[in-house]
Structure 1
Amino acid sequence: MKAKKWVSTLLLVLGFIVYFSVNEPESAYAMHIMEGFLPVGWAVFWWVVFIPFFIVGLRALKKITKETPELKIMLGLAGAFTFVLSALKIPSVTGSSSHPTGTGLGAVMFGPLPMSVLGSIVLLFQALLLAHGGLTTLGANAFSMAIAGPIVGYWVYKGLMRSTGKQKWAIFTAAALADLSTYVVTSLQLALAFPAEQGGILASFVKFGSIFAVTQVPLAISEGLLTVLIWNWMQSYSTEELSVLQRKMKGAKQS
């Protein structure tokens, strides 16, 4: 058992070293949609869409901490993982940046609703503490990264677990697609705000999506692999918390 723990820790450390070495960010201080880049109308629109999810997410988060307080450390881990990965920003489309999201892990463990809170808090902290900006565009950024991404990741995980039963494959795919779907939504947000003169929204969506794909596809694959390493590590060192979490997930499914 000690050997298994040692191996999982070593693999996790090596995974982080390789990940940060391969995905070393350049100087980029902008969210995936930078401060002031969206027209006022669209910035307000995404705030209005985002807020109801955040309120429902707060209720879900409160319920988890009240019913199973022993899972608070796992919530902290999910938030920290999201914070670290999403802080690695690479310059991309003008007025934007490309980066991993880290929301797939939390979506697998707790579902998409708590991640709407954790993910948006992460973006707020980065905007204020890391000088990444993005207060006016926080609604749009939070919708794509903290809402759309976790929703996709959660349902992909559920679907693959039902169809294949292969948990590691389900976790990898969920994390990777949570990352990619964030930028699909970001591309749509930018396309709606800045439709192309020729081809309109669709042409603009294809243009933004194609540029993001150059950096985001390898980021998503490496994020999926890193998320599996994190899961392996938790299985070695947080078996009790994972057992509580899995019982809770089964109970939620039955109800």
Structure 2
Amino acid sequence: MHIAEGFLPPLHAAAWTAVAAPFVIHGTRSAGRIVRENPSARLLLGAAGAFTFVLSAIKLPSVTGSSSHPTGTGVGAILFRPPVMALLGTIVLLFQALLLAHGGLTTLGANAVSLAVVGPWVGYGLYRLLERAPLPLKVFAAVAGADLATYVTTATQLALAFPEGGFLAAWGRFLSVFAVTQVPLAIVEGLVGVLLINTLLSWARPELEDLGVVSREREASHV
């Protein structure tokens, strides 16, 4: 997920930054609109950013000297929709690059596309696709899916930058590096997401209803 500073060729780094920029701009506008329309959601918005920061800062050793990370963006995508997570995720990545040496400034755009754009959109897409399913199943699929989609995207970015043996061969190698740790990690993150949403329902259900995360009539019987 965190491609290191200077690891990507300059042209690739610039291209991914250009891809990420409109999503972050749109996310900034979306976050401002949510705060104006639901002032009570400010605390929850900050909590979503903090949750992403903490989870994605956890570094777990993987094979061949690499590492795997939770992402924390699936829950935020459920709460505030993917555009907002483009903003929050990029802010998180920026602070991690400056304070924790996770990722980098030149690779911020690439890391933002994988963690803050693709991951949230895949997670939210799964959440909506399973609209009629029980809430815990929807949340688990969204959170785990966002985690896995982030790593698939990162593997794609690396394979495009370093296509030794061809893109597909390189893509398979990069995916296999993380698969051993990332698949179980995604499952664990999905379960944590279910516990977190259930906890939020116990003390912030009105805010979740205002945000459209759950309805007043139907979801209560599914939790």
TM-score by length of 1: 0.80
- For residue 10 of structure 2, the aligned residue among 40, 60, 63 is 40
Deviation for aligned residue 1:125: 0.9
Question: What is the aligned partner in structure 2 of residue 79 from structure 1?
Answer: 49
Q: Tell me the C-alpha RMSD between the 2 structures.
A: 1.9
1:20-169 equivalence runs, <5 A: 32-92=2-62, 97-161=67-131, 164-169=132-137
CA distance in structure 2 between the partners assigned to 1:211 and 1:117 by the alignment = 29
Deviation for aligned residue 1:133: 4.3
| Letter matched to residue 147 of structure 2 | D
SS at match of 2:76: helix
SS at match of 2:11: helix
- Alpha-carbon contact 1:46-1:139 (below 8 Å) kept: yes
SS at match of 2:8: coil
Deviation for aligned residue 1:150: 0.2
1:187-226 equivalence runs, <5 A: 187-196=155-164, 198=165, 200-226=166-192
Deviation for aligned residue 1:129: 1.8
Question: What is the aligned partner in structure 2 of residue 18 from structure 1?
Answer: none
CA distance in structure 2 between the partners assigned to 1:248 and 1:88 by the alignment = 29
Deviation for aligned residue 1:249: 8.6
Question: What is the aligned partner in structure 1 of residue 219 from structure 2?
Answer: none
- Alpha-carbon contact 1:32-1:97 (below 8 Å) kept: no
Deviation for aligned residue 1:238: 1.2
Question: What is the aligned partner in structure 1 of residue 140 from structure 2?
Answer: 172
Question: What is the aligned partner in structure 1 of residue 196 from structure 2?
Answer: 230
**Runs of 5+ consecutive residues of structure 1 not aligned to the other structure:** 1-30, 251-255
Deviation for aligned residue 1:236: 0.9
Q: Percent identity?
A: 58
Offset from partner CA, 1:154-176 (integer Å, 9 cap, x none): 01000001xx3311100001000
SS at match of 2:212: helix
**Segment of structure 1 superposing worse, 147-156 or 164-173:** 164-173
Deviation for aligned residue 1:98: 1.5
**Runs of 5+ consecutive residues of structure 2 not aligned to the other structure:** 217-223
- For residue 153 of structure 2, the aligned residue among 178, 185, 198 is 185
CA distance in structure 2 between the partners assigned to 1:184 and 1:67 by the alignment = 35
Name which one, 1 or 2, has greater alpha-carbon Rg.
Answer: 1
Q: How many residues align?
A: 216
SS at match of 2:58: coil
- Alpha-carbon contact 2:93-2:108 (below 8 Å) kept: yes
- Alpha-carbon contact 2:130-2:138 (below 8 Å) kept: yes
- Alpha-carbon contact 2:3-2:103 (below 8 Å) kept: no
TM-score by length of 2: 0.91
- Alpha-carbon contact 1:33-1:96 (below 8 Å) kept: no
Deviation for aligned residue 1:210: 1.2
